[in-house]
Structure 1
């Protein structure tokens, strides 16, 4: 298995088309959402549907609705540093389905998701951070296959969200 680095992720993002860029950023947001709005995953379903269709108009509308809904359901821990990173992913989402803003957002989301995972990792660059690097690469690889690869990207996001939710829950119980 090849080693995944932030540099290789940046290269993958640099080569991605708008649909893959939207999927990459959205997947990072989706995986990290338990840090901001623990019960907010349903708010992103219409956004995923817009990505699957490659529909820029639906993307902007769905993202705007998700932003409003998720900001109103932000959990009590939403002021913590990782939650602030997730809030930045959410508020930084471009309304336009164009390559440059989507690329910038995907890069920002990648960095924020890695930062949130490193913050929660006991050793900074431990297993949570390494797992997030692998998931990001897998999402980009899957999204490169068009709409058919988006199902795998969503599965990876769901899995990553479960992992993060478990970590947050475990920390809450031991605090």
Structure 2
């Protein structure tokens, strides 16, 4: 099943977890620590993830990751900031599906922008989320696989799938942190 189809079929917990996982993997761009999103993940473990805990923790995360305005920031950083800004305060409804889908596309775009093996001419093209990872650069292909695995873990597994989704996001965050660090060393 394609990523687009998985997002279309996901329940509220799956959508929130999918969007949050994409954001979690991109936290290094926002200078966030590894634990900054942990309380937000914890709200999804509740039987009713749409409770007030999500909105409260989302506000806390936004405060913790607040940065300067987008003037002069790298496109990848701007995309990560938009993911956080667009997160719905209610962990339910159509807005959650729109956010999860936008996070998926933004995260793939970020990985394409940061992938040293990516073809510069191909950066203008969007990543086709309906296809497999065969024709993608290594960093983007790995991100696409992570997104598929996260949605698969969250589909029908309730709170139990959250642990696996968090493990996948942690691995992806470490990879992106290394890429960002390597890129910074190359510039300076």
Taking structure 1 as the reference length, what is the TM-score of the superposition?
0.89
Matched, 1:79 2:54: no
Q: Which has the higher helix share?
A: 1
Matched, 1:65 2:77: no
1:46-91 residue CA offsets vs partner (Å, 9 max, x unmatched): 100001114321111111110111115x7xxx81110100000000
Aligned pair count reads 164
Q: Hey, which bits of structure 1, 4+ residues long, moved more than 4 A?
A: none
Matched, 1:41 2:41: no
Q: Distance in 1 between matches of 2:146 and 2:104?
A: 11
1:17-46 residue CA offsets vs partner (Å, 9 max, x unmatched): 000000000000000110122x33322111
Q: Which residue of 2 aligns with 1:149?
A: 161
Aligned-CA RMSD value: 1.5
**Max Rg structure:** 2
Q: Which residue of 1 aligns with 2:88?
A: 94
Taking structure 2 as the reference length, what is the TM-score of the superposition?
0.83
Q: CA deviation at 1:111?
A: 0.4
Question: Where do 5+ consecutive residues of structure 1 fail to align?
Answer: none
Asked if structure 1 preserves the Cα contact closer than 8 Å seen for 2:13 and 2:49, the reply is: no
Question: Where do 5+ consecutive residues of structure 2 fail to align?
Answer: 120-135
Asked if structure 1 preserves the Cα contact closer than 8 Å seen for 2:154 and 2:165, the reply is: yes
